[in-house]
């Protein structure tokens, strides 16, 4: 099975460790240059925006999934291959899982971990 769609969970800010930014750039570059598609939270800021910008800069396809109420707060990325808007976080999390062939978790805060735990501990 080829891992085509890679869902990346990461923070909506860069934090205070410069290596996080470098890692996000490297991951976006790697996903794009390997011909894979980045699937992520759809924001244009922080780690999310950095990994998306890097993938796009290297010719990659990027799908963002963002709930309506976060379009302004996380500044929805307007240059993506596709931006999917969801009515709420539950639908966003389900869509991120549905689209993925594989998952990568980068540095983030409580929201990042909450999304990861949703995958690891499904309700069904």
DSSP code per residue over 14-81: --S-HHHHHHHHHHHHHHHHTT-EEEE--BSSHHHHHHHHHHHHTT-EEEEEEEGGGTTTTTB-SSSS
At 16-45, the pLDDT tens digits run 888 999 999 999 999 999 999 999 999 999
| CATH class of this structure's domain 12-119 | alpha beta
Domain ranges of the chain: 12-119
Rounded to two decimals, what is the model's pTM?
0.90
Query: CB under 8 Å to 5, separation ≥6 — which residues?
Result: 36, 37, 39, 63, 99, 100, 101, 102
Q: What are the two backbone dihedrals, phi and then psi, of residue 111, each rounded to the nearest 5 degrees?
A: -65, -40
Predicted confidence (pLDDT) per residue in 45-80, tens digit: 999 999 999 999 999 999 999 999 998 776 899 999
């Amino acid at each position: 099975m080829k891992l085509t769609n890679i869902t990346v969970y990461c923070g909506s800010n860069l934090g205070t460790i410069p290596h996080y930014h470098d890692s996000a750039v490297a991951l976006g570059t790697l996903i794009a240059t390997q011909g894979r598609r980045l699937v992520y939270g759809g924001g244009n800021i922080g780690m999310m925006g950095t990994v998306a910008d890097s993938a796009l800069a290297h010719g990659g396809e990027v799908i963002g999934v963002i709930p309506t109420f976060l379009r302004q707060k996380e500044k929805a990325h307007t240059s993506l291959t596709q931006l999917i808007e969801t009515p709420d976080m539950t639908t966003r999390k389900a869509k991120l899982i549905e689209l993925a062939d594989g998952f990568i978790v980068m540095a983030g805060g409580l929201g990042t971990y909450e999304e990861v735990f949703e995958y690891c501990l499904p309700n069904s």
